Structure 1
Amino acid sequence: MTPWPNPFIEQRADPFILRHEGQYYFIASVPEYDRLEIRRAVTLDGLRHAEPVVVWRKPSTGPMSKLIWAPELHRIDGVWVIYFAAAHTDALDDLGMFQHRMFALICYEPDPLSGQWQEKGQVKTPFDTFALDATTFYHQGKHWYLWAQKAPDIAGNSNLYLAELENPWTIKGEPVMLSKPEFEWECRGFLVNEGPAVITHGDRLFVSYSASATDENYCIGLLWVDSDADPLQASHWHKSLQPVFITSDENRQYGPGHNSFTKTPEGEDVLVYHARNYTAIEGDPLYDPNRHTRLKLIRWQENGMPDFGIPPADTHA
């Protein structure tokens, strides 16, 4: 059972919750894909009814003018950062893919809801291709940038890449590819690895990620590395042969994915994700607004591996 209502917040996909100095911050994709808004509350449950504050709206033209996807809010060395994906058009390219790139906003003021946000432009990577779903984490005394991107020479939509950060909007050194779609469950509808999220437990660092098309095939996979191993050595990483969180027909929860992690005040680990409660989607699943934000606790097994469990059923309409 989950201690929170399910759905937790309706019509918010790609949810991200940051706990910082005793407060919770929530940011996610809005169905209109046209703005970035933040909610803040002193409790997790308080986020449900917290007033969303719009901190940025897309311009009418330019590289950040279309399809604002999957924002994340972070605090890096005393600076607020929002990473998000955006495109200059909603038309597909010659490969039939959207034309997103990753961008960063910076706020130097203490309050991210009232402070001024500055556009720092595109986060450049070695190849200028479809890119999305960036996250960041602190590990081994360094700040890291982890994201999904299309490789020109690899089939599929996106793989997962890791690089050190020079500053919040600039990567440092040569990225390493951590994972690409290779198993059947990563290649349903589309060949996808995206939406990475980081959690540590014991002597391991884990990266969850989402795979396959954004309908009922969407699911979560898992990578992990020893905490003292060099994360830029791809051979140090392990990959689960099976997904760790999948559709539950019994509970009518379809396509659970694009997760983040947070903690309760008591230190319990919380999985933050979206899922639909039906499969009969009219048209492109991307434009169906009912990927609702949901929460559930994660349990840890004796071997140190996470148990994501099964997506719980809705508890209210």
Structure 2
Amino acid sequence: MIRILRVSLSLLFAVAAPVMASPDILNPLVKQRADPQVTLAADGYYYLAATVPEYDRIELRRAHALNGLGAAPAKVVWRRHASGPMSANIWAPELHRIDGKWFLYFTAGRSDAPFDVRLYVLENAAADPLEGEWIERGQLKTGWESFALDATTFALKGQRYLAWAQRPPSAAKHMTAIYIARMDTPLSIAGPAALLTMPEYAWERVKFDVNEAPAVLVRNGRVFMTYSASATDANYAMGMLAAPADADLLDAASWTKSPVPVFASSATNGQYGPGHNSFTTSVDGKTDILVYHARQYRDIVGDPLFDPNRHTRAQAISWRQDGSPEFGLPVADPMP
């Protein structure tokens, strides 16, 4: 049984006024790119890694401004295999600079079992991630074999962590939970994984029991971990965990969990299924920015996984007086 401390919503997850779009962000940033991860690197570029609708490759693009990512050329840095591991459902790439090298963490299945996905890693020693050679480093082992996806990594107080989604060993077929583990190298975890959250609320269990796509923001003496829940249609929404930055992050009791979504569809603003987010900042580092995907319509014909119109979007984050982030509503697109 997971023990997650709960606090009054008025203290940690209080409802606040909707966030207004930063005036220099023009949405959507990039069309038909889901699961976006944007990082502002030391070279002054914003790098975007995201899932392409064909699920067949990993591409990177960069620009000196967020608004430039849509027009930036996409560089394909890796393509799926014809068969065997890493031959289907190439999802959720994330680009990270660690110890002087670039790493791409991504999800992949097999052509004979496309949804039997696992975590994999590519490595590039070049200073420029659009150049050099991306070397396959194989599967990132989590301690047991089951449906696993959406790896992210972050460092805090000299320790690097991996967070990801995976089906627990005894779970039902269509359920995923969020785990965390310490890393001893960029390619491996050290010690057992800790289970942080499972789908328990009704809004996390629409059509599928899903907690996936963790993303981490460290601010104001706390670690905020967002995640996405439910089916990937208009029911998709973001939840959030929070822990003190000096706590044992592998202890589920260190974390509080919001019982309500912190970011969800807005019919008023015409944005549906926002989620699978990442975090970046303005160029000057003064404004935290939420990057996410959403669709511009609610109704989908067929399986939402094969609807290509999840667009990469971004908006500024505001902060409550208690030091927790306020995401508000997914902002409306500019008037044509």
Same topology, TM > 0.5: yes
> Counterpart amino acid of 1:228?
D
Q: Which residue of the partner structure matches residue 309 of structure 2? A: 290
Equivalences for residues 221-232 of structure 1 within 5 A:
221-232=239-250
Q: Which residue of the partner structure matches residue 12 of structure 1? A: 33
Which has the higher relative contact order, 1 or 2, with Cα contacts under 8 A spaced 6 or more apart?
Answer: 2
Distance in 2 between residues matched to 1:315 and 1:90, nearest whole Å = 43
Runs of 4+ in 1 over 4 A off after TM superposition: none
C-alpha displacement of 1:238: 0.8
Distance in 2 between residues matched to 1:62 and 1:115, nearest whole Å = 25
Distance in 1 between residues matched to 2:167 and 2:53, nearest whole Å = 24
Q: Could you report, residue by residue, the CA deviation over 1:255-285 in whole angstroms, capped at 9, with x for unpaired residues?
A: 0000000000232000000000112211110
Judge conservation of contact 2:29–2:66 (CA < 8 Å) in 1: no
Q: Which residue of the partner structure matches residue 304 of structure 1? A: 323
> Counterpart amino acid of 1:232?
L
Distance in 2 between residues matched to 1:307 and 1:188, nearest whole Å = 24
C-alpha displacement of 1:316: 5.7
Q: Could you report, residue by residue, the CA deviation over 1:129-171 in whole angstroms, capped at 9, with x for unpaired residues?
A: 0000000000121111100000122344210000111211111
Q: Which residue of the partner structure matches residue 233 of structure 1? A: 251
| Structure-2-length-normalised TM-score | 0.91
Distance in 1 between residues matched to 2:180 and 2:208, nearest whole Å = 22
> Counterpart amino acid of 1:154?
A
Distance in 1 between residues matched to 2:175 and 2:98, nearest whole Å = 29
Q: Which residue of the partner structure matches residue 95 of structure 1? A: none
Distance in 2 between residues matched to 1:26 and 1:316, nearest whole Å = 25
DSSP 3-state at the match of 1:126: coil
Distance 1:231 1:115, change over 3 A: same
Distance in 1 between residues matched to 2:270 and 2:66, nearest whole Å = 24
Distance in 1 between residues matched to 2:251 and 2:157, nearest whole Å = 14
DSSP 3-state at the match of 1:192: strand
Q: How many residues align?
A: 312
Structure 2 residue 135 is the aligned partner of structure 1 residue 113: no
Distance in 1 between residues matched to 2:294 and 2:178, nearest whole Å = 22
Distance in 1 between residues matched to 2:280 and 2:305, nearest whole Å = 26
Judge conservation of contact 1:253–1:277 (CA < 8 Å) in 2: yes
**Equivalent residue in structure 1 for 2:120, among 98, 103, 106:** 103
Show structure 2 runs of 5+ residues with no match.
1-19
**Equivalent residue in structure 2 for 1:83, among 98, 105, 110:** 105
Equivalences for residues 1-317 of structure 1 within 5 A:
1-2=20-21, 3=23, 4-21=25-42, 22-89=44-111, 91=113, 98-155=115-172, 156-266=174-284, 267-315=286-334
Judge conservation of contact 1:6–1:316 (CA < 8 Å) in 2: no
Judge conservation of contact 1:132–1:149 (CA < 8 Å) in 2: yes
Most deviating of 152-161 and 199-208: 152-161
Q: Could you report, residue by residue, the CA deviation over 1:287-310 in whole angstroms, capped at 9, with x for unpaired residues?
A: 000000110111000011110011
C-alpha displacement of 1:89: 2.8
> Counterpart amino acid of 2:317?
I
Show structure 1 runs of 5+ residues with no match.
93-97
Report sequence identity in percent.
Answer: 52
Distance in 2 between residues matched to 1:67 and 1:153, nearest whole Å = 24
C-alpha displacement of 1:286: 0.2
DSSP 3-state at the match of 2:305: helix
| Structure-1-length-normalised TM-score | 0.96
DSSP 3-state at the match of 2:38: strand
Distance in 2 between residues matched to 1:227 and 1:77, nearest whole Å = 22
Distance in 2 between residues matched to 1:216 and 1:45, nearest whole Å = 25
C-alpha displacement of 1:91: 4.3
> Counterpart amino acid of 1:234?
A
